[in-house]
Amino acid sequence: MTAMAHEPLTQEDVLLEGFLALDTPEGFRAELVEGEIVVTPPPDGDHEKYISRIVRQVIRHSRTDMDVSGNKGLRLKSGDSCPKNHVVPDVTFAPMEADLFGGAGSWMPCDGVAMVLEVTSTKPQADREAKRRCYARGGVPLYLLLDRDTAQVTLFSQPEKDDYREHCTRPFGKPLTLPAPFAFELETADLL
């Protein structure tokens, strides 16, 4: 990522190089979200329980066979005022036939990703706002946000520029329709 000898490094270049060189403690996750380096501790058990409940349904009920990754870093397009975003969703879903994860490095482009899932934890506002904008800019078709503080699940769809044009929110306990390639009713009763 180093610029040519005659080209000065921009502040964004320096930030990105510093971020990519980070050596985070085991279990911690580092992300570059809208120009801010965010380091989060390992998740708690409830966080992982919610992820497990969603992933199990997606694997069982999706119309398309899905590959699933829980630690795949995504390089996402940036806005005018921030460097390239490097985000690690709690879960990334991609059609199995695309084979996106096989052979991918630590950070991969988001082309071909069908949906990302985030479960709120230590910085819920980042999941609700900054990460949502990052995924929309990156063209991720579906962003599923499980908000533990509000006991709601929201599906964001139809990304356009810095945000999603559509969203549907349901309280835990009410089903949420996932569109193709998933095409099933996501049950949320076991999240209560």
* For the chain, domain boundaries: 43-191
User: Which CATH superfamily includes the segment(s) 43-191?
Assistant: tt1808, chain A (3.90.1570.10)
Q: Is the peptide bond before 181 cis (omega within 30 degrees of 0)?
A: yes
Identify the DSSP state of 126.
I
Q: Can you give the pLDDT at residue 4?
A: 52
Q: Which amino acid is at 143?
A: Y
C-alpha span between 20 and 26 (Å, rounded): 16
Q: Can you give the pLDDT at residue 79?
A: 57
Q: Can you give the pLDDT at residue 71?
A: 82
Q: Where are the alpha helices (DSSP H) in 6-160?
A: 11-20, 45-61, 124-125, 131-137
Q: Can you give the pLDDT at residue 115?
A: 98
Among 86, 127, 130, CA closest to 110 = 86
Query: In whole angstroms, what separates CA 35 from the centre of its chain?
Result: 16
Positions of the chain with pLDDT lower than 50, given as ranges = 1-3, 81-82
Residue positions counted in the chain: 192
